[in-house]
Amino acid sequence: MMGKKGALKAASLGERGIIDMIRSELDSRGAAQPDPPLPHPDDASAMRLPDGRFLVIKTDMFVRRTDAPRGMRHLSMGWKAITMNVSDMAAKGAMPAAAMVALGVPKGYGAGALRLFFRGISEAARHYGFPVLGGDVGEARDLCASVFLVGYAGSLVKRGGARPGDIIAVTGEFGSTGAAYRILLEGMSAPEPLRRALCRRVFSPRARLREGVALAESGCLSSSMDSSDGLAFTLHSLSKSGSCGFELTSIPVSKAAIDFARIHSIGAEDLALRGGEEYELVVTVPPERWGDAVAAAEAAGGRLIRIGTAVEGSGVRLVSGGVRELPEDGWEHLR
Amino acid sequence: MMGKKGALKAASLGERGIIDMIRSELDSRGAAQPDPPLPHPDDASAMRLPDGRFLVIKTDMFVRRTDAPRGMRHLSMGWKAITMNVSDMAAKGAMPAAAMVALGVPKGYGAGALRLFFRGISEAARHYGFPVLGGDVGEARDLCASVFLVGYAGSLVKRGGARPGDIIAVTGEFGSTGAAYRILLEGMSAPEPLRRALCRRVFSPRARLREGVALAESGCLSSSMDSSDGLAFTLHSLSKSGSCGFELTSIPVSKAAIDFARIHSIGAEDLALRGGEEYELVVTVPPERWGDAVAAAEAAGGRLIRIGTAVEGSGVRLVSGGVRELPEDGWEHLR
């Protein structure tokens, strides 16, 4: 796979190619964990503790240039830097215990903006219920922040546990962030109240932490993943990891996304499937546990919306009004 | 302290000014830990666990442009990225349990170089005895890697525990890295074998992990800090945190640094005091525990070299051959 020295560039490997290369290096040098409780690829990493619980750790880097769309304030960026990490912990059923933040900041960056960024980080950490213990500050050419979460879980929900017959469900509606990104990145228009409602989902991200932990503790989930890379991509990942196919009967699209789609004569389901950064959870539930799963989500203040069924085979299909293969439209850095 | 919007820049705050600003933001928003076991400033962050032990976490970002001197190979950069974090854990007496690495990589970066960087990370993690559980890959304009360590400690050694009468000691000799940086950054000359010996200390960094954990477990230390910011700066930090003065009777300078200093007619002690990145530990020991501390360090394969005594008052003085105040010559990013 590797060419001559210096011939192959990071960009041609892509994010996943780099991760594969790193993993092979860790494995071959004896620095990987044998038989990890959350095998790669999964949303977070875990290690079994002597007391039977799991230490769960997660890091994801917020980079302003790629993670903050035009118009996002520094307060929201801080919320997002924390939320994107919490959402992955939530999907595994882990409660974060503490955070660290490694900040990279350009020399000429405004101090007031930086303060607001940390106000967002602080508000978010408090909202989710863990302290920020410390961190590190270094110089960088972009504003970036690697958030590092340490958490604990009594039981873990892997990405790869879906079985034929399982119910596929999500914790909320999709489409608003997809529509908001069309407005923010492509300059598409919307009446002001609609614009505001859509953009709020991008500027005020919230992770489903209570639902995730409650669902994991209920023992009702066969697999779980956070939807931040987009619903279509997430469904494909869960399907591949679980070695089964997915048949979707309905996609819950937010009313705001439907309104936006109608104005522009575009497909609302498309917005929902390719949006990304909704921070909803996508889970599978054995049918006999469905009632308990719904009850657990509701007791945690959330809900569970059934969108389809896992079947023998592979691939993801929409089976409402004819059968269509759902293309995998993930979103990959570095390509 | 903060000026009008955007008026004050990150560079004018400096690394410590930014950290103070972040801390005030965390405190005022309720996101800081009340009564932390390792109060700021210390080498790492900690949280008491229900079982009485401490969760210790540390993150430090390796940035190629500032952390890798000319001539450093990618394998060494990987070792350094891990070692700089392990050294801080070692100073607190914590054994790392797992690491995560958040990588930032420019698009055009050579894939082979990246592989060697992770080979260094893997070798170092294995050397110190913990797995790399996972991480994150993003695009950045510089090669950078935030290493996150999670570890546990039975007892912690703070930065702020030195008391008058305590013995001040270090785990090794100083000066080689200072001399190596004069060669690598300022182009100073040295005969080839000496050059190689000096640069090895920069290119093959090793943290005093076993010594640090053994010394903490022995209960003999009143304070401890890693010397990566330079011996002079470290002594000043320990002195200030402990609210006492330090009188130094001798500075252990490596033979290679003495040889280099002689060739260039410069002060060998100066190289030792202002070098930085030695990754030795600087500790204080109540006199009645000195014998036990030496025994603990030796049982861990290391040693403890007495360099002075803590006294009433403040400041750091050299008291061999007359009394000289030792200026604080720390090394701060972002100025």
pLDDT one-digit tens code per residue, B34-87 = 999 999 889 999 999 988 999 999 999 899 998 999 899 999 999 999 999 999
Read off the pTM. 0.90
Would you place residue B7 in the very low, low, confident or very high pLDDT band (cuts 50, 70, 90)?
low
Taking CA–CA distances from B106, the nearest residue in chain A reads A10
* Interface confidence (ipTM) of the complex: 0.87
**Average pLDDT in chain B:** 93
What are the Cα distances from residue A331, in Å, to A12, A109, A205, A301, B248?
Answer: 15, 29, 18, 30, 58
Mutate one of B2, B19, B24, B25 to test the A interface: name it (highest A CB count within 10 A): B25
Q: What is the pLDDT of residue A88?
A: 98
Per-residue pLDDT band at B335 (split at 50, 70, 90): very low
User: Is the minimum CB–CB distance between A3 and chain B shorter than 8 Å?
Assistant: yes
pLDDT score of B4? 44
Is pLDDT of B152 > 80? yes
* pLDDT at position A320: 85
User: Lowest mean pLDDT: which of A2-16, B70-84, B157-171, B175-189?
Assistant: A2-16
Minimal Cα distance from B41: which residue of A? Answer: A134
Residue type, A235: L
Q: What is the pLDDT of residues A158-187, one digit of tens each?
A: 999 999 999 999 999 999 999 999 999 999
What is the share, in percent, of chain A residues with pLDDT greater than 70?
96
Q: What is the mean pLDDT of residues B262-288?
A: 94
Of A11, A131, A136, the CB nearest to B107: A11
Q: Does A125 contact B31 at a Cβ distance shorter than 8 Å?
A: yes
Q: Chain A within 8 Å of B152 (Cβ-Cβ)?
A: no
Question: Does A2 score more than 70 pLDDT?
Answer: no
Q: Do B18 and A122 touch (CB under 8 A)?
A: no
Q: How confident is the model at residue A4 (pLDDT cuts 50, 70, 90)?
A: very low
Q: What CATH architecture applies to the domain B167-325?
A: Alpha-Beta Complex (3.90)
| Domain boundaries, given as residue ranges, for chain A | 38-153, 167-325
d(C-alpha A103, C-alpha B19), whole Å: 10
What average pLDDT does range B119-136 have in this prediction? Answer: 96
Q: Look over chain A and give the mean of its residue pLDDT values, rounded to a whole number.
A: 93
Q: How many CB pairs under 8 A join A and B?
A: 293
- The beta-strand segments (E) located in chain B are 45-48, 54-63, 95-105, 132-139, 144-153, 167-170, 223-226, 245-248, 281-285, 305-311, 316-318, 324-325
Kindly state whether B185 is in contact with chain A, defined as any CB-CB distance less than 8 angstroms: no
Instruction: Say which of A13, A135, A333 has its CB closest to residue B138.
Output: A333
Q: Which residue has the higher pLDDT, B170 or B320?
A: B170
pLDDT of res. B333: 39
* Mutation target among A16, A89, A136, A156 for the B interface, most CBs of B within 10 A: A136
Tens of pLDDT, residues A296-314: 999 999 999 999 999 999 9
**All residues at 6 or more sequence positions from B213 whose CB lies less than 8 Å from its CB, including other chains:** B90, B93, B94, B95, B153, B300
* pLDDT at position A142: 87
Task: Say yes or no to pLDDT of A80 above 70.
Answer: yes
Whether A150 sits inside 8 A of B57 (CB atoms) is: yes
Residue A328: predicted pLDDT = 80
pLDDT of residue B135: 86
* Mean pLDDT (whole number) for A259-280: 94
In this prediction, residue B141 carries a pLDDT of: 84
Residue B292 has a pLDDT of: 98
- The more confident residue out of A10 and B216 is B216
Over range A78-96, report the average pLDDT. Answer: 98
| Stretch B164-178: mean pLDDT | 97
pLDDT given for residue A16 in this prediction = 86
Tell me the nearest-neighbour CA distance from B329 into chain A, angstroms. Answer: 19
The Cβ-side half-sphere exposure at A133, using a 13 Å CA radius, reads 26
Q: Poorest-confidence range of A156-160, B19-23, B324-328?
A: B324-328
Place of tokens 């050397």: B127
pLDDT-derived band at A239 (thresholds 50, 70, 90) equals very high
Q: Minimal Cα–Cα distance from B331 to chain A, Å?
A: 13
Q: Look at domain B38-153 and name its CATH class.
A: alpha beta
Q: Is A83 on the interface with B (CB under 8 A)?
A: no
Res. A330 pLDDT band, cuts 50 70 90: very low
Which 25-44 residues of chain B touch chain A by CB within 8 A?
25-26, 28-33, 36, 40, 44
Most confidently predicted of A91-95, A134-138, B31-35, B133-137: A91-95
pLDDT band (50, 70, 90) for residue B330:
very low
Condensed to tens digits (0 to 9), the pLDDT of residues B231-259 reads 999 999 999 999 999 999 999 999 999 99
| Chain A CB within 8 Å of residue B311 CB | no
Q: How confident is the model at residue A135 (pLDDT cuts 50, 70, 90)?
A: confident
Q: Which of B74, B137, B159, B331 to mutate to test the interface with A (most CBs of A within 10 A)?
A: B137
Q: Is the pLDDT of residue B331 over 60?
A: no
Tens digit of pLDDT for each residue in B196-210? 999 999 999 999 999
